[in-house]
């Protein structure tokens, strides 16, 4: 994945005529999205028009594909760009959160090791041990 996250990397292309004035359109992405990003793209969106839900966009490798008449492509690309931005932003915050969680787990592990070491050292302080 690109360091700045997934983004649209090209202009829309008509790749197949489905019927009169209706085409299969595809756009390139900057990288092939991971499963988490795809889930966010499909499920995170708000104010989705019923005639163009995110699930109507197919994601294959580094390509997004959708069906459209030419007059709606600009509108649909605007929605897709917003959906991509939202998924990329959320994935970035999730990544930061998982890094924080990882650091927290590592810190807890170090603390547990430290406490175990002190407990081991203090065994010599058991009742009756000091008198010996």
* pLDDT at residue 2, rounded to an integer: 37
- Listed by start position, the domains of the chain span 13-94
* pLDDT at residue 102, rounded to an integer: 67
Distance (Å, rounded) from C-alpha 48 to C-alpha 104?
A: 37
Q: Which residues of the chain have pLDDT under 50?
A: 1-3
- Confidence (pTM): 0.70
Residue 5, sorted as left (phi over 0), alpha (psi -120 to 50) or beta, turns out to be: left
60 φ/ψ angles, rounded to the nearest 5 degrees: -135, 110
- What are 87-109's pLDDT values in tens digits? 999 988 887 666 666 676 778 77
* pLDDT at residue 3, rounded to an integer: 44
* pLDDT at residue 27, rounded to an integer: 95
Measure CA of the first residue to CA of the last residue in the chain; give whole Å: 64
* pLDDT at residue 104, rounded to an integer: 64
* pLDDT at residue 98, rounded to an integer: 67
CATH number of the structural domain 13-94: 3.30.310
* pLDDT at residue 130, rounded to an integer: 56
CA-CA distances (angstroms) from residue 48 to 56, 62, 98, 123?
11, 23, 29, 64
Which residues are CB-neighbours of 91 under 8 A, at least 6 positions away? 5, 6, 34, 36, 37, 40
* pLDDT at residue 25, rounded to an integer: 97
Strand (E) or helix (H) holding 82: helix 73-121
Closest CA to 37 of 78, 74, 7, 77: 7
CA-CA distances (angstroms) from residue 97 to 30, 34, 45?
23, 17, 21
């Amino acid at each position: 994945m690109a360091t700045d996250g997934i983004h649209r990397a090209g202009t829309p292309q008509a790749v197949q005529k489905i019927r009169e004035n209706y085409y299969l359109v595809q756009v390139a992405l900057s990288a092939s999205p991971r499963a988490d990003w795809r889930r966010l793209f499909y499920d995170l969106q708000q104010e989705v028009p019923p005639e163009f839900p995110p699930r109507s966009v197919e994601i294959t490798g580094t390509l997004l594909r959708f069906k459209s008449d030419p007059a709606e492509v600009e509108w649909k690309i605007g929605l897709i760009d917003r959906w991509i931005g939202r998924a990329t932003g959320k994935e970035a915050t999730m990544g930061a959160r998982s890094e924080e969680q990882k650091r927290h787990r590592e810190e807890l592990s170090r603390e547990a090791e430290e406490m175990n070491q002190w407990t081991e050292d203090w065994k010599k302080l058991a009742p009756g041990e000091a008198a010996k």
